[in-house]
């Protein structure tokens, strides 16, 4: 009997079949959104689950012409890239100083980051919104940027006390950004 065929068993096949069905169930909403987006309103009103008889891109053209989609897209891109840039710089510097230097208040700062991990991000949303509204920062780009950076900052700490060792494990010997202090 073939070695690969021996490894196949009924329970293993049933588990794999269940995972395939679960995956298909997760993919269906994405496929439904895709093929529904190329239906006309008339076709959609007739049946929301059927495939489009006459696919059209008129819905996409209408969004690009009538809505402020391009403005929304550039706002999202700006906020995402600015948040990424600020968070990367702050996280890199903070992680380096917390791991390399011993200073007064280091454990307090580390405890602050740990507290941020314990409290769910969504618990902070309403108080932050109320604070920004009272400060007159409502409906501005900075109003999104500050909480995004702050929420990212709350999840920075690393259990690694020796960055060289951790980077060597994560990145390999030759791609490490840390030099061996020995």
Residues 55 and 116 occupy one common structural domain: no
Residues 115 and 162 occupy one common structural domain: yes
Structural domain count of the chain = 2
The answer to the question of residue 142 being in a domain is yes
pTM (two decimals):
0.55
Please answer whether residues 44 and 36 qualify as being in contact, where contact means their C-beta atoms are separated by less than 8 angstroms. Answer: yes
Residues 96 and 112 occupy one common structural domain: yes
What is the pLDDT tens value at each position of the chain, 182 positions in all? 566 656 668 888 899 999 999 999 999 999 999 999 999 989 999 988 888 999 999 988 888 888 788 888 888 899 889 988 988 888 888 888 878 888 898 888 888 877 777 877 778 778 888 888 898 888 787 788 877 777 776 655 444 555 445 544 444 444 544 455 54
Residues 74 and 161 occupy one common structural domain: yes
Q: What is the DSSP string of 55-78?
A: ---HHHHHHHHHS-HHHHHHHHHH
Residues 60 and 98 occupy one common structural domain: no
| Domain finish residue from 50, 66, 82 | 66
Residues 82 and 167 occupy one common structural domain: yes
The answer to the question of residue 8 being in a domain is yes
The answer to the question of residue 181 being in a domain is no
Closest CA to 36 of 21, 55, 8, 9: 55
**Residue range(s) defining the domain that contains residue 78:** 69-171
CA–CA distance, 21 with 18 (Å, rounded to integer): 5
């Amino acid at each position: 009997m073939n070695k690969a065929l021996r490894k196949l068993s009924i329970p293993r096949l049933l588990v794999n079949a269940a995972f395939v069905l679960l995956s298909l169930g997760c993919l269906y909403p994405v496929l439904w959104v895709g093929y529904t987006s190329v239906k006309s309103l008339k076709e959609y009103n007739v049946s929301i689950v059927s495939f489009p008889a006459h696919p059209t891109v008129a819905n996409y053209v209408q969004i690009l012409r009538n809505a402020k989609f391009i403005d929304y897209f550039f706002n999202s891109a700006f906020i995402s890239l600015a948040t990424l840039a600020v968070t990367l710089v702050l996280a890199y510097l903070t992680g380096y100083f917390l791991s390399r230097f011993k200073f007064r208040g280091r454990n307090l700062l580390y405890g602050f980051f740990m507290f941020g991990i314990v409290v769910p991000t969504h618990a902070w949303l309403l108080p932050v919104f109320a604070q920004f509204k009272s400060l007159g920062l409502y409906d501005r780009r900075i109003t999104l940027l500050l909480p995004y950076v702050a929420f990212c900052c709350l999840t920075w700490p690393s259990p690694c006390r020796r960055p060289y060792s951790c980077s060597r494990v994560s990145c390999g010997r030759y791609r490490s950004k840390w030099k061996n202090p020995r």
